[in-house]
């Protein structure tokens, strides 16, 4: 595929935007914030936007396909298995379209947020292949995954040097409640193991990081994968560095109450994190059709009065977790060194998670909507420190068509 040229009259940098959806999420009536953001972003020759459906979506064509793929979808939800294809597709999009000076932004929710981090880590460690080399994108990912052990990082660097890949920065990384690990080759190359891949917890090639996190999520299979802010040094061989602009903000609700995926009329809480993320992204240079954004986030009714989009609501319903079959893993012993909540007792090096709360640090940053809900008097999560120690941030307001 040939590169996408800039319009002749255009002089500024283009935005290349990746939107990576969550586990078993795709466009539909129970939209995630990734889908909503995708819909609200301007799309033209100066802002190219890519959408990837979530891990575990089956693309069902018939009943037999539905049944055989369901087990794969469940495995994907539990482990992130199947991430490779999503990563290589997004990576190939960047390789084919990137031109010098373009700004890359990547968004993701849930394990889609981990997909976003993996793509960013792949770009930093291996670089972007040239457009005519995208037939070997899978080999770039393989070299990256083989670098999961710190002793093997040279595998990725050697691949980059031999292919003369392009060193490019990531402008903006927008994440909703990152969870997940990835299947990667073990050091002996005989088996597979779950691991955190290189530069997915911290990445010096990313200029701006924004992470919306759920206070009330308790499921074992959805433990939070936080971000470690560090220096901004997109060129690993340059000596100059600057501070990375990273901000993690806590929102009320469980995983889907922050990242979306619940029925529209139950999504008032999720709209707050969407508005916050859109405001941060706009400040970083991304362009939105604010008429669409306002319709999604501030409510819209049909001519007969039926609500199409519910508005942002700090008092919206919280979907309690764990629920249903998600309780089963909560009673499987877990290594004590992985314990997040001190009130869980361990025995012989193991403990039962039993829906343990996430650990919110004393110096955490919360969104104003959390404060509003707390002040109303019916929201007192056990893991939220006293308000006097917390910093509160609000949403930046967008108005008009931002271009």
pLDDT tens by residue, 185-234:
444 444 444 567 999 999 999 999 999 999 999 998 899 999 999 999 98
Rounded to an integer, the average pLDDT of 29-55 is: 93
Q: At a CB cut-off of 8 Å and minimum separation 6, what does 84 contact?
A: 138, 141, 183
Beta-carbon neighbour count of residue 78 at 10 Å?
Answer: 12
Return the biggest CA–CA distance within the chain.
68
Angle in degrees, CA 374, 375, 378, rounded to 5: 55
**Cα(336)–Cα(343) distance, rounded to whole angstroms?**
12
Highest mean pLDDT among 183-187, 298-302, 390-394: 390-394
Bigger pLDDT: 32 vs 10: 32
The predicted model scores a pTM of 0.89
**Cα(222)–Cα(77) distance, rounded to whole angstroms?**
10
**Cα(241)–Cα(234) distance, rounded to whole angstroms?**
8
Of the candidates 320, 347, 322, 319, which has an alpha carbon nearest to the alpha carbon of residue 333?
Answer: 347
């Amino acid at each position: 595929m040939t590169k996408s040229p800039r319009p002749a009259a255009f002089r500024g940098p283009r935005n290349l935007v990746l939107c990576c959806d969550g586990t078993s999420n795709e466009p539909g009536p129970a939209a995630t914030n990734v889908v909503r953001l995708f819909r609200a972003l301007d799309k033209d020759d100066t802002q190219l936007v890519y959408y990837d459906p979530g891990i575990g979506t089956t693309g069902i064509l018939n009943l037999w396909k539905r049944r055989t793929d369901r087990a794969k979808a469940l495995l994907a939800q539990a482990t992130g298995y199947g991430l490779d294809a999503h990563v290589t597709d997004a990576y190939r999009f960047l390789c084919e379209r990137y031109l010098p000076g373009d700004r890359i932004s990547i968004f993701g929710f849930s394990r889609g947020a981990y997909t976003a981090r993996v793509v960013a880590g792949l770009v930093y460690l291996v670089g972007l292949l040239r457009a005519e080399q995208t037939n070997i994108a899978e080999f770039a990912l393989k070299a990256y995954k083989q670098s999961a052990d710190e002793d093997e990082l040279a595998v990725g660097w050697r691949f980059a040097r031999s292919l003369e890949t392009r060193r490019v920065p990531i402008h903006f990384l927008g994440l909703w409640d990152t969870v997940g690990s990835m299947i990667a080759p073990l050091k002996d190359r005989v088996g597979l193991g779950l691991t955190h891949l290189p530069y997915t917890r911290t990445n010096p090639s990313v200029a701006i990081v924004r992470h919306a996190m759920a206070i009330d999520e308790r499921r074992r299979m959805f433990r939070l994968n936080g971000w470690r802010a560090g220096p901004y040094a997109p060129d690993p061989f340059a000596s100059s560095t600057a501070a990375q602009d990273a901000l993690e903000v806590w929102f009320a609700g469980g995983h889907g109450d922050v990242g979306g995926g619940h029925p529209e009329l139950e999504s008032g809480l999720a709209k707050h994190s969407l508005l916050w993320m859109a405001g941060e992204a706009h400040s970083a240079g991304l362009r939105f059709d604010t008429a669409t954004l306002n319709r999604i986030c501030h409510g819209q009714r049909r001519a007969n009065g039926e609500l199409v989009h519910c508005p942002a609501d700090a008092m919206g319903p919280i979907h309690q977790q764990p629920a249903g079959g998600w309780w089963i893993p909560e009673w499987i012993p877990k290594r004590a060194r992985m314990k997040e909540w001190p009130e869980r007792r361990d025995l012989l090096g193991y403990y039962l998670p039993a829906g343990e709360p996430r650990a919110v640090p004393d110096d955490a940053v919360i969104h104003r909507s959390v404060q509003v809900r707390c002040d109303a008097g019916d929201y007192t999560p056990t893991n939220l420190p006293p308000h006097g120690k917390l910093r509160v941030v609000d949403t930046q307001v967008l108005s008009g068509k931002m271009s």
